[in-house]
Structure 1
Amino acid sequence: MTNNTQDQNRNETTDRYDAVIIGGGAAGLNAAVALGRARRRVAVVDAGEPRNAAAAGVHNFLTRDGIAPAELVRIGRMEAESYGGVVFEGTAASASRDDDGFTVTLDDGTRIRGRRLLIASGLIDELPDVVGLRDRWGVDVLHCPYCHGWEVRDQAIGILATGPMAVHQALLFRQLSSRITVFLHTAPALSDELAEQLAARGIAVIEGNVESVSTTDYALSAVVLTDGSVHPIQAMVVAPTFTARTAVVESLGLDVSTDPRGIGTFVESDATGLTRMPGVWVAGNVTDLTAQVITAAAAGLMAGAAINADLIAEELEVAVQAYRAAQRLPHSRQAG
């Protein structure tokens, strides 16, 4: 724990921050860095439950390829704190709005006040109900070819078909291995067109529901169907349901939307992350279900810059009103 990390025994902070950021991942921390460099006072609430904790490394992040997720967060937190950011370790349970901005309440009762609010709380990957999947999640049970595909190249890869994304996933992973098998599981029967596409790429299709995945020597080794048949594999690709973490969003009365592709829930925003509630922004997977770490970080920068611009506009209005009042004051005295 660093010097700027707050003691969670405090029930309420006495300071009012320019921005309170909920979420200490790539999006939240990059927003904190951007705001800190703009000389804004920033608080970050971090529950310490990163979505990618099970993964061995972060990929497609220029100059940081392969870095452990925990190490990326450690460096990001250090950078945010170097610009004056303060990290509160805990879970944000709710938020409320008043004339002075927002009050965020943590699950231990700590309350943090801020003029603006950025929610970068991420999402939860809800996996299909198959025995053994969760135990191997992020290791050899995967969903993204760009995040983990290189690590399973040329291996025997199974695609667990639960919906319309299965063929798309199979074709993506076919770029990485010639040994791809689609297990139809709960997905509807393939159309003639889709079956032809898979056959043209040499992708096998096996009908029947998957009961479990098994391991040998601490590595994924097989798919077991409900009919008892066993099919060797080395990696399994799934399509999770992406469920945004929205407790704080809902406490503010903001709507949670369902992605039209049927892949999960998210919070709508404009290009900068601004929601329909003035003063509240979102960034990262809570609003962009398919964002990778580097794009979540970029969204955090965008939201941080937008928050700073919004604060500047508010402060300018106050300054102009004060200036006008000061300019009128000598004339009033002369008239008297």
Structure 2
Amino acid sequence: MAIDVAIVGGSYAGLSAGLLLARARRSVVVIDARLPRNRFAEASHGFLTRDGEAAAAIADSGRLQLLAYTNVRFVEGTAEAAAREGAHFVVSLGNEKITARRLILATGVVDELPAIPGLQEGWGRTVFHCPYCHGYELGLGRIGLLATGEDSLHQAMMLPDWGPTTFFLNDAFEPDAAQEAMLRARGVEIEREWVLAVEGERPTVILDGGRAIPLEGLFVAPRTRMASDLPAALGCAFAEGPLGPHIRTNEAKETSVPGVYACGDAAREAGSVSHAVGDGVTAAIAAHRSLIFDVH
């Protein structure tokens, strides 16, 4: 027998979608591998009422609240395949197949950092991607930005609000004269030597010439890729953002595949916990309405 909605991905977006659908008294299954994108971060910031709490604690609390609803089932595991079969969708994982009338993808993305020793080890603790999430805690100390492309210019212009900024170009970007003038007007120091490594708990950037530049924190905008093959396998269309592809949706978070909705980081150019929660609400309401009116 088909349930109303299967949600693939049980982090902030998926849990938020599940909560709204549970409260609409719809049958819901949430499938999650328990590998959230922000699992490397010690704390989550900028989410109203939960600022500074451990990221895992926020998700655990949300999961407990969701599972208080008897019409919700949580399945821990990886959704291996999904396909439309007639009027329904079938999601496969392990030895189980879940049939649902609607499908919400909250499958997230994976960050791909430049291949520089020390970056991955510091990711989420001393190496960050979002100043709104982590900049305040650096206490206006010296911070750095590692360029990954032309879009790093935007980040370099913003970062001085969180501390004196050094922009490590690393041959990934070269500002023209006008751009360099803008950066210098913001007080950004431009560094053209290659970055060889990032070392230490208080990150120190080691340059090709042997100089060591200590920082309070280092920012980098990683490329992202889909964390799951399901969106592509279902035929969802993608849009190319500045950091990588994301699932293309309309304002109701419906994908190009009727009956399939997407929310969270997988369906945004850039995300946060707050954005993910809001997206989950939007996707849930749209999916619920489509069940009532049988429209997509």
Same-fold call, TM cutoff 0.5: yes
- The structural deviation recorded for 1:244 is 2.4
Give the equivalent residue in structure 2 for 1:86: 73
Query: For 2:148 and 2:269, how far apart are their aligned partners in 1?
Result: 18
CA 213–302 in structure 1, closer or farther in 2 if over 3 Å, else same: same
- The structural deviation recorded for 1:52 is 0.5
Query: For 1:221 and 1:90, how far apart are their aligned partners in 2?
Result: 35
Give the equivalent residue in structure 2 for 1:176: 162
Give the equivalent residue in structure 1 for 2:194: 209
1:4-23 alignment runs, 5 A limit: 15-23=1-9
Q: Are the counterparts in 2 of residues 19 and 42 from structure 1 also a CA contact under 8 Å?
A: yes
- Deviation string 1:218-261 (CA, Å, 9 cap, x unpaired) is x13311122333222221110101222241112212233322x3
Match of 1:266 among 235, 238, 246: 246
Q: Which amino acid letter does the alignment assign opposite residue 227 of structure 2? A: R
- The structural deviation recorded for 1:283 is 0.5
- The structural deviation recorded for 1:166 is 2.2
Match of 2:204 among 211, 215, 222: 222
CA 75–270 in structure 1, closer or farther in 2 if over 3 Å, else same: same
The count of residues paired between Structure 1 and Structure 2 equals: 294
Query: For 1:181 and 1:272, how far apart are their aligned partners in 2?
Result: 40
Q: Which amino acid letter does the alignment assign opposite residue 257 of structure 1? A: A
- Deviation string 1:96-149 (CA, Å, 9 cap, x unpaired) is 11124011011x232111110000011111111111100000011011111111
Q: Are the counterparts in 2 of residues 22 and 46 from structure 1 also a CA contact under 8 Å?
A: yes
Is residue 231 of structure 1 aligned with residue 213 of structure 2? Answer: yes
Match of 2:239 among 244, 257, 261: 257
Q: Which amino acid letter does the alignment assign opposite residue 222 of structure 1? A: T
Give the equivalent residue in structure 1 for 2:29: 43
Q: Which amino acid letter does the alignment assign opposite residue 306 of structure 1? A: A
Residue aligned with 2:37, SS: coil
Q: Are the counterparts in 2 of residues 242 and 289 from structure 1 also a CA contact under 8 Å?
A: no
Q: Which amino acid letter does the alignment assign opposite residue 83 of structure 2? A: S
- The structural deviation recorded for 1:201 is 2.2
CA 116–65 in structure 1, closer or farther in 2 if over 3 Å, else same: same
Give the equivalent residue in structure 1 for 2:287: 307
Give the equivalent residue in structure 1 for 2:266: 286
Match of 2:178 among 193, 199, 210: 193
Q: Which amino acid letter does the alignment assign opposite residue 127 of structure 1? A: L
Query: For 1:265 and 1:278, how far apart are their aligned partners in 2?
Result: 20
Percent identity between the two aligned chains: 36
Query: For 2:174 and 2:23, how far apart are their aligned partners in 1?
Result: 54
Q: Are the counterparts in 2 of residues 246 and 256 from structure 1 also a CA contact under 8 Å?
A: no
Query: For 2:224 and 2:46, how far apart are their aligned partners in 1?
Result: 21
- The structural deviation recorded for 1:193 is 1.1
Structure 1's unaligned 5+ residue stretches are: 1-14, 316-336
Give the equivalent residue in structure 1 for 2:125: 139
Q: Which amino acid letter does the alignment assign opposite residue 74 of structure 2? A: V
Residue aligned with 1:220, SS: coil
Match of 1:61 among 47, 51, 59: 47
Q: Are the counterparts in 1 of residues 5 and 104 from structure 2 also a CA contact under 8 Å?
A: yes
1:95-134 alignment runs, 5 A limit: 95-106=82-93, 108-134=94-120
Residue aligned with 1:114, SS: strand
- The structural deviation recorded for 1:56 is 1.7
**How large is the RMSD of aligned CA atoms in angstroms?**
1.5
Query: For 1:267 and 1:221, how far apart are their aligned partners in 2?
Result: 34
Match of 1:159 among 145, 170, 177: 145
Q: Are the counterparts in 1 of residues 14 and 30 from structure 2 also a CA contact under 8 Å?
A: yes
Query: For 1:129 and 1:220, how far apart are their aligned partners in 2?
Result: 20
Q: Which amino acid letter does the alignment assign opposite residue 93 of structure 1? A: E
Structure 2's unaligned 5+ residue stretches are: none
Residue aligned with 1:96, SS: strand
